[in-house]
Structures are given as structure tokens and as C-alpha cells.
Structure 1
Amino acid sequence: MEEHHGARVAQALAARLQAAIDKKGWSVAQLSRSSGVARYTISKALAGEAWPDLLTIANLERALGVDLWPGRDV
């Protein structure tokens, strides 16, 4: 059975988020302070347990200086 498209998008977003955090050398707490996004929300997104809304993604992207949305090719 083919994996659900939404699951692939969530996994790709989580992977991009983790890679960006690692590249910055930040903790989740540091990203939370820089982005204004709650640590709980970031942790849930990283675990694939929550879908961040568009404003949350935008705030994370601004703080990290990267694009997190994986695009239509996922």
C-alpha cells in the first residue's frame, strides 16, 4: 500500500527542520526563543506527531533562515 502523501510531507518537513537545527547547532530551546514557537510544538513537529500551521512554519523558517516546506515533489 502506498504511503499517504500527507505522511510524506510531514516526514520531509520534520527532516528539514532537524537538519536546519543541526546545521545551526541549536537546541530546541534555542530555536523556540529565536522563533517564538513553543518548544512543545517544535518537539511534536520533529516527532511527526503534529502538523505545524503556516504561521508556525513561517516563524521557524525566519529564525533558521531556511525553507522548511518540502514542495510538491514529495
Structure 2
Amino acid sequence: MAQALAGKLQAAIERKAWSVAELSRQSGVARYTITKALTGEAWPDLLTIANLERALEADLWPGRDV
């Protein structure tokens, strides 16, 4: 699940052409947290995922298609 979230997060960042720093500014989520999610090393809590989804205007929750 963490790897699926990481893939969706990476794709959404690329679609926006944002850096991790820009996503951090737009979402209010720490760069460290975003980086850990991108590498699949951490599973963000639901509020963090919601903040990332709102900023990226993307569905990141992997449970729908995994």
C-alpha cells in the first residue's frame, strides 16, 4: 500500500510540475514527511493524505485500485 501511495504521489507531483518544497508549501505537509512517503518508507496519516490530495487536486488513496 505504501508503494502504491508513493507512485500516485510521484505522478501527481509530476503532473503539477512541482518540487517537494513547493508541495510542502502548498499542502502544509513537511518536506521530510513527503520525502518519506515518496520513498515508501512511511505511511502518512489520513489528515496528511487529505492535505496532499487537496493541494495536488488528485486522489492519492491507493485502496481503490490496489
Q: Which has the higher contact order (CA 8 A, sep 6+)?
A: 2
TM-score normalised over the length of structure 1: 0.86
Alignment of 1:1-74 (within 5 A): 9-74=1-66
Q: Which runs of 5+ in 1 are unaligned?
A: 1-8
Q: Deviations over 1:2-39 (max 9, x none)?
A: xxxxxxx1111000000000000000000000000000
Q: Which runs of 5+ in 2 are unaligned?
A: none
TM-score normalised over the length of structure 2: 0.96
* Matched residues, number: 66
Q: Return the offset for 1:67.
A: 0.5
State the alpha-carbon separation in 1 of the partners of residues 65 and 10 from structure 2. 19
Q: CA RMSD in A?
A: 0.8
Q: Percent identity?
A: 82
